[in-house]
Structure 1
């Protein structure tokens, strides 16, 4: 099956699954349709691009399912004109979809290889408003001011209070937080109220624990 047909059939299936779950955000679904997911995976996994499973990427990482990306971006309640920080670039797919919905996306990862590959994909798609940088995800990014939305795809041990100052007033951060028993991580929606976070736990996610610093190789 050729890639274009894989994309068309894969997105159609995803669309039906998301609609069945009550996710019917037209802007989000349009952004997905305009972002070919096979571009963000190796050719060996093209036929599984829209399967509801983790898929291997470079640097020993994985790409979460397209369905999970959709659930996360929906929970962020993105609005046009906003600035978004994506912590944990991975394949770059989440940042690319978000880039079609907001004014600017800054995506960071500890691996230089992932940053370079993602930037190439953004350029190929003409997404000039999506910037990839190598950085320590636990510290966020400097020199960019505050963000309206922040999403992390690596799990924190505790509430990531260090990001309060990087979030605009009333802004929302989505952050996986490891449960007290250490067995699983749940995505939490953190809304900035004054100088603190108001927390709402959402759904379980497969994200791994943060590794501090940037990678010396890769």
Structure 2
């Protein structure tokens, strides 16, 4: 599965996120344990580089560093239940599954969801539920969640997500106009109010509506 240079690329990523993003502990162990090569398109020379990759269905996979930073922003504990909106390749899903007791991940494209499920399970992770849905209203059927991550942007956080967060829960999403640069913001629920922490800039697309009927 590994290609020449993968170990060096992983080591460089771990050094960057440790020194620049202050990532440590269980998440670092998860990054080392999950083979990113399994999740990137064939022929990619450096799966750990500072660039995104195209996925089927016109979707995009974030860079390894962005993926790790998103997972780090959630501050996941072993007892947490996590909702992920936008399964994509399944790489972030696998990181979350290494950290949490349960992950529910939504993807509007069956093609992506099926492939991601196979990859995640090949990593001996059986605590993930895959659902085909657009995720624009969260997933009330399994709420409340301790942690929520959205691989997409909102101009403002929809009320539906607020209602699906447990007490003390955190949600990480890109906030801003869909046609420009947004800010990844961590929303932490404190009783009836939210504590907002801007983290880093990204360019994420707004979530598309509806399940994909063909792909």
TM-score between the two structures when normalised by the length of structure 1: 0.93
- Cα distance change of structure 1 residues 182 and 199 upon mapping to structure 2, 3 Å threshold: farther
Say whether residues 1:205 and 2:202 are aligned partners.
yes
**Corresponding position of 2:50:** 52
1:3 maps to: 2
Distance 1:182 1:42, change over 3 A: closer
CA contact (8 A) 2:6 2:46 kept: no
Q: After superposition, where does 1:65-214 map in structure 2 within 5 Å? A: 65-179=63-177, 182-214=179-211
5+ long unaligned stretches in structure 1: none
1:41 aligns with 2:30: no
The equivalent of 1:32 in structure 2 is 31
Distance 2:3 2:79 in 1: 31
**Helix, strand or coil for the counterpart of 1:43?**
coil
**Equivalent-residue separation in structure 1 for 2:102 and 2:3 (angstroms):** 28
Output the TM-score relative to the length of structure 2: 0.94
Change (3 A) 1:68 1:22: closer
Residue 213 (structure 2) aligns with: 216
- The alignment status of 1:14 with 2:13, answered yes or no, reads yes
Gaps of 5+ in 2: none
Which range moved further: 85-94 or 201-210? 201-210
Contact 2:109/2:132 (<8 A) preserved: yes
